Amino acid sequence: MTDQRHITMKDIAQALGVSVATVSRALSDSPRISQAKKEIIQTYAREHHFVPNMIAETLRNSKVKPLKIIGVIVPEITHFYFSSILSGIEREASAHGYRIMVAQSNENYQREVDICRSLYENKVCGVIVSQAKNTAHYDHFQYLIDRGVPLVFYDRICTGVNASRVVVDDYMGAYLATSHLIETGCKRIAFYGASMKLEISKNRYNGYRDALLKHQMKPDKSLVFYCDNRKDAESITPDLLIMEDRPDAFFAINDDTALGILYAVKHFGLKVPEDVAVCGFTNSLSAVASDPKLTTVEQRGEKVGQEAVSILISKVEGDTPMEKIEKRIVRTRLVIRGTTR
């Protein structure tokens, strides 16, 4: 995907000191503005290689609607949370007469870039995306925005791009989960998180840290680990359990990781939650299939998906200005089960 930034109607409007609506009318050859102003705007657009998103314009202005397709990029379809978001996206899109085109990045940056190009070439009317873990460059997202393709992030938002987003209240979810562990008698609470480059990881860590501080407990860096999957949790946890001052609780960034901790603790011969308490984050189907059942933070994935579609369709159909950035937060709730006291 090219690094060249293509201008938007907003850029043209700012450069020429006119409104976005005036630019739109000039580019559509509307008789509502003077021929002189029209030529100035059209010449500027040509010289700066302005490329309109034709399908989005058609959706907004035509009574005869083309096939309405929303592109969706998912890091991992097999992950319960992402599949629940996808369910919410599909349900809301279908209710409004839209279809979805789904692609899986497999947590791979280059694949994500290729998917963005493919979705644009397939003329989707908008894109809903959760970025891959290793994404550090954002030109492929800006590429879509610069061509008038509405873009909405969910879960893993991209701070390097000014776009609408829908997230859960990661901070408060982590704060309440950690507070619950403290209030039930836990003194040394380990945190298993993902890369701090991801906003969700930073927010969940901050919630964990602030809960400790609120309860007059000093955060201990030796209890904070980069671990966000079951395999690593099963590998790392035994080393902590042999420590003389071992953790008496674990708070994990997702249920998959929490279940790896649970397995390791039980395999070590300790009792859950009497010896060690465990709390996850997702409320996946696996959370109620474990023994004991997992205490976790519910993310309400379907609601996240529905909100993302709502924002996108509003932009596509012209009810919300393309340049307006919407930020929606879906509340979490702590679901207390058998892995905590």
Mean pLDDT, residues 215-239 taken together: 97
Separation between Cα atoms, residue 306 and residue 289, nearest integer Å: 27
- For residue 278, the SS3 value is strand
In a 13 Å sphere around the CA of 167, the CA atoms on its Cβ side amount to 23
CA dihedral 318, 128, 161, 331 (to 10 degrees): 100
Least Cα distance to 277 among 188, 205, 206, 154 occurs for: 188
For a pLDDT cut of 70, what percent of the chain falls above it?
Answer: 93
- Evaluate if residue 289 carries a pLDDT over 90: yes
pLDDT on residue 231: 97
- CA 20 → CA 48, 302, 311, distances in Å? 16, 34, 20
pLDDT on residue 223: 98
pLDDT on residue 3: 41
Where is average pLDDT lowest: 56-60, 107-111, 161-165, 174-178? 56-60
Q: Where residue 27 falls among pLDDT bands split at 50, 70, 90?
A: confident
DSSP character string of 109-157: HHHHHHHHHHHHHTT-SEEEE---TT----HHHHHHHHTT--EEEESS-
pLDDT on residue 263: 98
Averaged pLDDT of the chain: 91
Q: How many CB atoms lie within 10 A of CB 185?
A: 12
Mean pLDDT, residues 309-325 taken together: 92
- Evaluate if residue 65 carries a pLDDT over 70: no
- Evaluate if residue 318 carries a pLDDT over 50: yes
pLDDT on residue 61: 55
Show the tokens assigned to 265: 């603790």
Which 8-state DSSP code applies to residue 287? Answer: G
- Evaluate if residue 32 carries a pLDDT over 90: no
One-letter amino acid of 183 = E
pLDDT on residue 31: 82
Question: Do 243 and 259 touch, CB atoms closer than 8 A?
Answer: no
Least Cα distance to 134 among 188, 194, 78, 80 occurs for: 194
For a pLDDT cut of 90, what percent of the chain falls above it?
Answer: 76
Tens digits of per-residue pLDDT, 130-189? 999 989 899 999 999 988 899 999 999 988 899 999 999 999 999 999 999 999 999 999
Separation between Cα atoms, residue 315 and residue 174, nearest integer Å: 32
Q: Where residue 60 falls among pLDDT bands split at 50, 70, 90?
A: low
Where is average pLDDT lowest: 55-69, 118-132, 159-173? 55-69
Q: Where residue 4 falls among pLDDT bands split at 50, 70, 90?
A: very low
Q: Where residue 270 falls among pLDDT bands split at 50, 70, 90?
A: very high
- Evaluate if residue 341 carries a pLDDT over 60: yes
